[in-house]
Amino acid sequence: MGATAYSLTAYQEQLPQVELIKPDRGRLPPECLTDGPDGKIMNTVERQDGPWGQRYVIKQLTVYAYQELPEGGFFV
């Protein structure tokens, strides 16, 4: 029987902190979209089953169809 041990203790403190939100009827706060070369860029997180349990994969999507809202934020 074998085991694989992996430790992130020193590295964990250097990782960026993020906040996960769900869009409210297609509305996103302004900090959710950043400017990209072809439009706005939105980061999404997908939960997957990995070899050691669940893992979270970050993907970037280019958002071509969006509307800036008068009260701030975006509608996608």
Residue 9 lies in a domain: no
- Reported as a single tens digit per residue, the pLDDT across 21-74 is 888 888 888 888 889 998 899 888 888 888 888 888 888 999 998 899 998 888
pLDDT grade for 9, boundaries at 50, 70 and 90: low
Kindly report the backbone phi and psi dihedral angles of residue 52, in degrees, each rounded to the nearest multiple of 5, phi listed first: -120, 30
Structural domain count of the chain: 1
In a domain, 60, yes or no: yes
Q: Is 12 helix (H, G, I), strand (E, B) or coil?
A: helix
Q: What's this model's pTM, rounded to 2 decimal places? A: 0.59
In a domain, 66, yes or no: yes
Query: Tokens at residue 42, please?
Result: 């939105």
- Pairs from 34-40 (Cβ < 8 Å, separation ≥ 24): 36/62, 38/62, 38/64, 39/63, 39/64, 39/66, 40/66, 40/74
Domain of residue 47: give its range. 36-76
